[in-house]
Amino acid sequence: MNFWEALHNFALPIPIVGHYLVLLSAILFVWSLALIRNPTPSRGFLLVLRLNWLAYALNTVAGLALQFSGRHVPSAVADAARGDGRTILGYLPDPSRHWEHLMYGLIAILSLGGTELILNGRKYGMTRWVRFVPVATLLLAAVAYRAVQVAYLPGATPGT
C-alpha cells in the first residue's frame, strides 16, 4: 500500500504547481492554445495528451486502491501523530473534502475523455470543435489544481 500512497502523493518542489498532474495538464493547456489558430493537433500535442492519460490513469488506480483500503485525503481526517484532533497541516478535519477530491478526479477524467472525443471528431468533418480543446484542457488544469488543494486544505465545513 505504501507504493500506491507514494505514487498518489508524489509532489514536485515547484511552488503553486505542487503535483505532477497539475504540471502535465498546464503544459497540455498551453500547447492546446495553438489549436485556436491551426485546428490540426501536432504530434507533440498528441504525445503530451497520451502522457496525461497515462499519468491520470496511474494516479486514478492509486487513488482507488487507497480508497478501497479505507484511506481518506489528509484534510478529511485527523493526524494520529499530532494527537490533537487536527489534520497534518493543523486544521480541523473536514470529511466532505474526501468526496470533493473524488469529484474533481472524475471531472478530470471526463475532461480528458472530452478532449479525445473532440480530436477524434475532426476525422469526420467536425474541425470547428477542435478550437474548443483549450477550454477542455483549461478545465483539466483547473480541476487538477483544485483536487490537490482540497486534499490538504479545509473547506467551509470543518469538524462536521
pLDDT tens profile 95-130: 888 889 999 999 999 999 999 988 887 667 777 788
Bridge partners, residue 11, by sequence:
19
Roughly what angle, to the nearest 10 degrees, separates helices 43-68 and 20-32? 150
- 121 vs 57 pLDDT, higher one: 57
pLDDT value of position 122: 67
pLDDT exceeds cutoff 60 at 146: yes
Confidence of residue 83 (pLDDT cuts 50, 70, 90): confident
pLDDT value of position 48: 96
The pLDDT tens digits for 65-76 are 988 998 888 888
Q: Are 130 and 35 in contact (CB under 8 A)?
A: yes
- Of 137, 1, 131, 130, residue with least CA distance to 56: 137
Other C-beta atoms closer than 10 Å to the C-beta of 89 total 12
pLDDT value of position 61: 92
pLDDT value of position 160: 55
Q: Is 124 helix (H, G, I), strand (E, B) or coil?
A: helix
Q: Is 19 helix (H, G, I), strand (E, B) or coil?
A: strand
| Phi-psi sector, 90: left (phi>0), alpha (psi -120 to 50), beta | left
- 123 vs 20 pLDDT, higher one: 20
